[in-house]
């Protein structure tokens, strides 16, 4: 759940995020969240959330994970979830990118640029979109995260050309300017009604060390990335890369892969929490997004076999109730479900890397995993066994 934080981390003050609590503050802002499936798994046991009370016997091992890496961006969070810590944060550009970068970008693309400021994507497109239509210059903007975002109207700049411009930017942005991600943001529509399309594409730097995805692939375990997972890891350790237009399509893709994949890891990023509602300070929309995900999760869980493992977590916070429209440094929830197995009220307090280490231990038991951080979460092995038949061990 991209951006679904569960309360300010112990070092939130250092990131300007004191008081951030994506789940808790959103619940209070809308008068309570609706998520009975997540509640039954134990989400209300990990943090106070109006509308999701704690349950006496959660169905999953439930807990909180702390980020150890420096940063609060998507790339850093996902890498650490897969066992790779980042000690030095990616650079950010609160004053925009330096002339050396922008001049090189203009030469590489053959187009001028507009903006080069920190901004919300929807706001900067609304403000500069008409000038972009008139001049053909690319809209460039950033945020408190380490990103170089390029927006262009599909009637002015074909999507393939926009992708090429972002690939050029990725080559330029190295050394001291090595941002975590270059992001293509195509949009369409007339002035006053510009709309971003589903053609977003992220160009991330490759991981600087081994991840759980690398270890699984090397061990013969197939990894399927859903949403922007393949882009976040620059394709490394990913056998199947499934782009989606939103969270509902993402969950449908996960369900299809469960039917098609006898053994392996399905790693899905559900970005709507973050991109559509967190960054736009829309708590009501965020709450509706959670309710929709909860319904989809309720349809997915009965399809899991007794030897499958479901992990639900997040990569950072993005509190839609604070003045900031950026990510927040927060704890994230962890729900680890073994269908039909009683977790016995188990709780877990750990770090992001524990998520990936748990998946690795599940799929490749005993792998020494050199260079992989984290500890496996203890999972229940006893009944009751409600599933009709055991599936071969080996799906995460």
Tell me if 331 sits within 8 A of 65, measured CB to CB: yes
Q: Can you read off the two tokens belonging to residue 352? A: 């992001």
What number is the average pLDDT over the span 142-151? 92
Tell me if 226 sits within 8 A of 244, measured CB to CB: yes
Eight-class DSSP state of 19: T
Q: How confident is the model at residue 394 (pLDDT cuts 50, 70, 90)?
A: low
Q: How confident is the model at residue 9 (pLDDT cuts 50, 70, 90)?
A: very high
Class of domain 12-86+275-363: alpha beta
pLDDT value at 376 more than 80:
yes
Q: What is the pLDDT of residue 388?
A: 29
Q: What is the pLDDT of residue 279?
A: 92
pLDDT value at 122 more than 80:
yes
Q: How confident is the model at residue 386 (pLDDT cuts 50, 70, 90)?
A: very low
pLDDT value at 103 more than 90:
yes
Q: What is the pLDDT of residue 345?
A: 84
Q: What is the pLDDT of residue 395?
A: 73
pLDDT value at 277 more than 70:
yes
The CATH topology of domain 99-204 is Alpha-Beta Plaits (3.30.70)
Q: What is the pLDDT of residue 144?
A: 80
Q: What is the mean pLDDT of the chain?
A: 94
The crossing angle, in degrees rounded to 10, of helices 159-172 and 99-109 is: 140
Q: What is the pLDDT of residue 145?
A: 84
Q: What is the pLDDT of residue 69?
A: 97
Q: Can you read off the two tokens belonging to residue 221? A: 């375990």
CA 142 to chain centre: 18
Per domain, the residue ranges of the chain are: 12-86+275-363, 99-204
What number is the average pLDDT over the span 259-270? 96
Going from the C-alpha of 112 to that of each of 103, 238, 277, the distances in angstroms are 9, 35, 31
Q: How confident is the model at residue 170 (pLDDT cuts 50, 70, 90)?
A: very high
Is the whole model's pTM more than 0.85, yes or no? yes
Q: How confident is the model at residue 396 (pLDDT cuts 50, 70, 90)?
A: confident
Tell me if 192 sits within 8 A of 209, measured CB to CB: no
% of the chain residues with pLDDT over 90: 90
Q: Do domains 12-86+275-363 and 99-204 have the same CATH topology?
A: no
Summarised one tens digit per residue, pLDDT across range 193-228 is 999 998 999 998 999 999 999 999 999 999 999 999
- Strand 147-153 versus strand 347-351 pairing type: unpaired
What number is the average pLDDT over the span 281-307? 97
pLDDT value at 120 more than 90:
no
Q: What is the pLDDT of residue 387?
A: 35
The least confident of 86-90, 208-212, 358-362 is 86-90
How many whole angstroms separate alpha carbon 304 and alpha carbon 121? 38
pLDDT value at 129 more than 70:
yes
Q: Can you read off the two tokens belonging to residue 288? A: 């509706």
How many whole angstroms separate alpha carbon 375 and alpha carbon 219? 19
Q: What is the pLDDT of residue 393?
A: 47
């Amino acid at each position: 759940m991209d951006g679904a934080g569960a309360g300010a981390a112990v070092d939130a003050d250092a990131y300007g995020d004191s008081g951030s609590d994506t789940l808790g503050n959103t619940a209070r802002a809308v008068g309570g969240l609706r998520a009975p499936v997540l509640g039954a798994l134990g989400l209300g046991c990990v943090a106070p959330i109006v509308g999701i009370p704690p349950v006496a016997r959660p169905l999953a091992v439930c807990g909180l994970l702390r980020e150890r890496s420096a940063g609060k961006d998507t790339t850093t969070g996902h890498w650490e979830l897969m066992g790779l810590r980042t000690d030095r944060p990616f650079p950010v550009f609160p004053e925009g990118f330096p002339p050396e970068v922008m001049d090189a970008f203009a030469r590489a693309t053959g187009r001028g640029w507009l903006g080069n400021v920190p901004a919300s994507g929807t706001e900067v497109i609304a403000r500069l979109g008409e000038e972009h239509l008139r001049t053909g210059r690319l809209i460039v903007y950033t945020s408190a995260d380490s990103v170089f975002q390029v927006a262009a109207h599909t009637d002015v700049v074909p999507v393939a050309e926009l992708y090429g411009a972002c690939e050029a930017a990725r080559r330029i942005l190295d050394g001291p300017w090595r941002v975590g991600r270059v992001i293509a943001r195509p949009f369409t529509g007339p002035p006053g009604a510009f709309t971003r399309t589903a053609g977003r594409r992220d160009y991330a730097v490759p991981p600087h060390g081994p991840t759980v995805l690398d270890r699984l692939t090397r061990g013969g375990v197939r990894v399927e990335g859903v949403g922007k997972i393949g882009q976040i890891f620059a394709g490394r350790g990913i056998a199947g890369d499934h782009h989606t237009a939103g969270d509902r399509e993402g969950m449908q893709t996960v369900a299809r892969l469960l039917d098609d994949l006898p053994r392996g890891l399905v790693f899905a990023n559900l970005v709507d929490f973050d991109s559509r509602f967190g960054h736009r300070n829309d708590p009501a929309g965020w709450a509706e997004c959670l309710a929709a995900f909860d319904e989809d999760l309720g349809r997915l869980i009965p399809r899991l076999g007794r030897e499958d493992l479901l992990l639900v977590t997040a990569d950072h916070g993005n509190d839609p109730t604070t003045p900031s429209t950026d990510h927040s440094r927060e704890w994230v929830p962890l729900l680890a479900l073994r269908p039909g197995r009683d977790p016995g009220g188990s709780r877990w307090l750990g770090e992001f890397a524990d998520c990936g280490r748990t998946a690795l231990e599940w799929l490749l038991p005993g792998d020494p995993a050199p260079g992989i951080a984290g500890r496996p979460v203890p999972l229940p092995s006893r009944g009751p066994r409600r599933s009709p038949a055991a599936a071969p061990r080996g799906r995460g």
